[in-house]
A and B are shown apart, each in its own frame.
Chain A
Amino acid sequence: NAGVTQTPKFRILKIGQSMTLQCTQDMNHNYMYWYRQDPGMGLKLIYYSVGAGITDKGEVPNGYNVSRSTTEDFPLRLELAAPSQTSVYFCASVKTHGGASSYEQYFGPGTRLTVT
């Protein structure tokens, strides 16, 4: 298994541009997440999904959109990029089995985004 893959690894955007960060997992995990990590800070949840067709906001959803049309893919869309969205973005997934699940999150390698 490749695990959780993210593309691109790096990207520079100009203010006002849009882009989609791709995330794919091949572990048949039902839960997926998008986080951002600013320097010296912990991970902040942007959006998450508990299954195909279901998404919900996290702590910092403004300026982002997501969709989950398949179990494997969970793209994150940035509309009208702003300097405040400069960050490292991580995608993660979890396989849940009800009460016995460890809820261990598997993370991708991250996308480093700079908005200038």
Chain B
Amino acid sequence: SQKIEQNSEALNIQEGKTATLTCNYTNYSPAYLQWYRQDPGRGPVFLLLIRENEKEKRKERLKVTFDTTLKQSLFHITASQPADSATYLCALARGSTLGRLYFGRGTQLTVWP
């Protein structure tokens, strides 16, 4: 079965620094990988998608990389702010079942002033 690991349960960084979150997967190679943000008591919110043939995607202060050789995606938040504090979920979809996602446990990011 597909296994997805996010590097740590919690990450604490100072405001203004770059936060880097890791998502590793085993077994099947995903057709695409997505990152979501989840605030306490709320449903996840989509942030970025990166496809298997893409190396990097950017959106404002967010950057996602995808290394299919290492079976790893990195999610970066540059110039982090306290408002970025949330849990970030990695999810991947296999080519045979597009639209069906497998989620990691998430990394709780805290940005302190």
B46 CB contacts on chain A under 8 angstroms? 104-106
- B:50-88 near A, CB below 8 Å: none
Size of the chain A interface, CB-CB below 8 angstroms = 27
B91 CB contacts on chain A under 8 angstroms? 43
Interface assignment of A42: CB less than 8 Å from any CB of chain B: yes
Q: Determine the distance from Cα of A96 to Cα of B49 in the docked complex, in whole angstroms.
A: 14
Give the nearest-CB partner of A40 in chain B: B105
The B contact surface, by secondary structure, is strand
- A:64-116 near B, CB below 8 Å: 90, 92, 94, 96, 101-110
- Closest chain-A Cβ to B100's Cβ sits at a distance in Å of 6
Interface assignment of A27: CB less than 8 Å from any CB of chain B: no
Give the nearest-CB partner of B104 in chain A: A42
Which residue in B34, B43, B98 is a CB contact (below 8 Å) of A110? Answer: B43
- Closest chain-B Cβ to A40's Cβ sits at a distance in Å of 7
Q: Are B44 and A107 in contact (CB under 8 A)?
A: yes
Q: Determine the distance from Cα of A48 to Cα of B100 in the docked complex, in whole angstroms.
A: 8
